């Protein structure tokens, strides 16, 4: 990805007075850094530039962003892109909450292998960009190791402007994609990356992500979570294991996140599922 020349006198990073900017959460890998940021009403950020490319997804509130191609009125649900070195300024008349996504070299190089990555500043007009932005926000709040796999796939799609194939063109599932699905079943409770799946398939990560969703009607990250919950449902029949132990054995970092995902996918929390499905004295188990 090209780096725009930064004009003399343009600061590398903005200054935020007082409590005008608050970081609500942060996640980082070797490929990406994501921050959920809240900006105070009335904040004006002077012209500045970043050394790395960024995506910005607007969660709530409204703000304005000016750049070399003009300006964008950034409403909730919009996604905009800033190339490295792009001078820009921001104004937050009513405050705003955004997801700031900083892109690092490994992800950019991966995108270049499959096409020409995005290089133009401004709002992404495609309706699919809004969907990807919402999915990024959702994955940001999933406290498990699957979020990184999902986020990489979503960002590659945004960088390359890809659109998933329509259902009408779906044909037989290719053998390489079936191998990917089998790998998810065999290693679903362990840590898998998009690169691991790409090597298994012998295909580019973008193609793996798109075709998986196309043929199996769900994202890879959702599929992994379903595999883990299915594993947990089997373990819930074992009286000697507590819910906390089952959460760890099923690939979740803590019981709280496990309970939330279990409830979302099955409709009930794990301890209730255990009581409803297995005939045994409740007091002999440790929910």
Instruction: Give the whole-angstrom CA distance, residue 33 versus residue 184.
Output: 25
Is 185 in the same domain as 287?
Answer: yes
Task: Report the pLDDT value the prediction gives residue 169, as an integer from 0 to 100.
Answer: 57
Claim to verify: residue 101 and residue 196 sit in the same structural domain: no
Domain count, the chain: 2
Report the CATH number that the domain containing residue 218 is assigned in CATH: 1.10.10.60
Q: Indicate which CATH number applies to the domain containing 58.
A: 2.60.120.10
User: Among 31, 257, 227, 57, which residue's Cα sits nearest to residue 141?
Assistant: 257
In a domain, 26, yes or no: yes
Structural domain boundaries enclosing 275 = 164-287
Residues 129 and 27 in one domain: yes
Confidence (pLDDT) at 150: 87
Say if residue 125 is in the same domain as residue 195: no
Q: Strand, helix or coil at 73? A: strand
- Whether 71 is covered by a domain: the verdict is yes
Alpha-helix runs per DSSP H in the chain: 105-112, 127-140, 146-160, 175-186, 194-201, 205-216, 220-235, 243-249, 255-266, 270-277
* pLDDT profile of the chain (287 residues), mean per 10: 48 72 92 95 88 95 85 90 91 92 93 84 89 93 82 90 51 89 86 86 88 87 91 87 92 89 91 79 42
What is the pTM (predicted TM-score) of this model? 0.77
Residue 13 lies inside a defined structural domain of this protein: no
Is 272 within the bounds of a domain?
Answer: yes
Residue 57 sits in the same domain as residue 124: yes
126 and 224 together in one domain: no
Same domain, yes or no, for 116 and 30? Answer: yes
For residue 274, what are its two tokens?
A: 């255990």
Q: Both 116 and 177 in a single domain?
A: no
Q: pLDDT value at position 166?
A: 43
Are 200 and 101 part of one and the same domain?
no
- Which residue do the tokens 């398939």 mark? 201
| 11 inside domain | no
Shared domain for 105 and 168, answered yes or no, is: no
267, part of any domain: yes
What 8-state DSSP symbol labels residue 250?
A: T
């Amino acid at each position: 990805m090209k780096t725009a020349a930064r004009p003399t006198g343009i600061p590398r990073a903005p200054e935020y007075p007082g409590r005008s900017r608050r970081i609500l959460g942060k996640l980082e890998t070797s490929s990406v850094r994501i921050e959920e940021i809240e900006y105070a009403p009335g904040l004006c950020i002077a012209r500045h530039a970043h050394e790395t490319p960024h995506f910005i997804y607007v969660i709530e509130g409204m703000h304005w962003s000016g750049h070399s191609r003009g300006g964008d009125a950034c409403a909730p649900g919009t996604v905009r892109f800033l190339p490295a070195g792009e001078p820009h300024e921001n104004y937050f008349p009513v405050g705003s909450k955004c997801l700031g996504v900083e892109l690092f070299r490994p992800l950019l190089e991966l995108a270049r292998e499959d096409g020409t990555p995005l290089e133009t500043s401004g709002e992404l007009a495609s309706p699919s960009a809004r969907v990807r932005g919402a999915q990024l926000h959702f994955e940001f709040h999933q406290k498990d190791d699957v979020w990184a796999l999902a986020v990489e796939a979503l960002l590659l799609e945004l960088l390359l402007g890809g659109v998933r194939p329509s259902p009408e063109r779906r044909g037989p599932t290719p053998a390489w994609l079936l191998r990917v699905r089998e790998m998810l079943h065999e290693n679903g409770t362990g840590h898998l990356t998009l690169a691991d799946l790409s090597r298994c398939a012998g295909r580019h990560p973008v193609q793996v992500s798109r075709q998986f969703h196309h043929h199996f009607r769900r994202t890879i990250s959702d599929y992994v979570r379903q595999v883990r919950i299915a594993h947990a449902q089997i373990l819930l029949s074992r009286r000697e294991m507590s819910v906390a132990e089952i959460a760890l054995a099923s690939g979740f970092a803590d019981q709280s996140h496990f309970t939330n995902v279990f409830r979302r996918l099955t409709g009930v929390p794990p301890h209730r599922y255990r009581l409803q499905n297995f005939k045994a004295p409740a007091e002999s188990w440790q929910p």
